Structure 1
């Protein structure tokens, strides 16, 4: 696992955008994994700037979303398909239908989950998956206790996650759905490159467990320790609990010239 400590969200976004730009330059039909929440927003803004400058095109690319709420109306602003459209998909040149997400309003949710798994596999898998991390260590909506071998399925959100996400619903916890459809931990681990971003002191405990703790379903993101190519980018606040923070800084500063993320 590569741990990269950067001064702020903008510096992190620049490094991640560099990696995505390199990926799309050598593989224009790459498959991206898109996350919602606050953590990726600076990345999406940077990619939009580069697209507008003519540096990067998504015209041949595809993308898959990590998760979706169950039961939100199709036009609800916090439905994740609408969030992704607003924050990145509608601001660049993805082809129509190139961005797919799990169906939180399907009549047969288990069948829809199986179909979503099949769609990712048919696309050849995700080349680069963007991730955030919850304060309780969840990635996507894989809450504590999730099977490390899980695939796309319906999950019940914890009270902590609903409180954390209430800020997107005008502060009303009761407006946050109780259920979601999410890629499983094994689904996420099938991506070729995992890129997790975390900023702020509220993520410090989760980042500590992710990077330096034991692999455990109680901290679902720790499964990333078993991935052959996982990159964790954090600001100083999110890195504040890391025991080996100085070492991670030294490793990144003195990495070989050819080594990127």
Structure 2
């Protein structure tokens, strides 16, 4: 199983992804070119090796030829979202067969009205996905605009974790909006559980890290009356190279 991610910078210990990663949520914050895709691809490999289907949502709406070669293994099934019946039929067929899916998405398909649920959101709430798939949300470039305009997506994310069986990985750049206390609270709730310290990450420090080096944080599994501690380490992620 491809469970090795890299190593801890401060020790000789190996950094491995564990089974809890299938059910807990992962937030990857890093600048363009810092290794977000590399880390996500390694997590995806572990999920695939665990016999869990994956849905990779590329909000950059990439053409198939623009996608990195490391994703184009035997599990790569590209599809581009639109609201047509033809798309829905192709998508339903992939889900019914539990195929791994790489879906390019234009985020403008989300509704910008609170009382309207978009067809895109209905698609992401497909029962087959919620029961059988691990989700990746990748490359939402204008974070502040995304969270203020696409209320449909925000409302979806808030109840999303109560609907699905497995966890998710969310990739984003350390945009200044992450220093907004309200957004920090939202992401703390979604990805780490309630946390009293809003400074559990600092985007200015994240921007100084070299490629494939991350500030790794996770909540301990110890059972306590209060929320468990968050442990922090600097880690170096191995580069994943895939050849056709």
TM-score tier, shorter chain, comes to 0.3 to 0.5
Q: What is the TM-score of this pair, normalised by structure 1?
A: 0.44
Q: What is the TM-score of this pair, normalised by structure 2?
A: 0.46
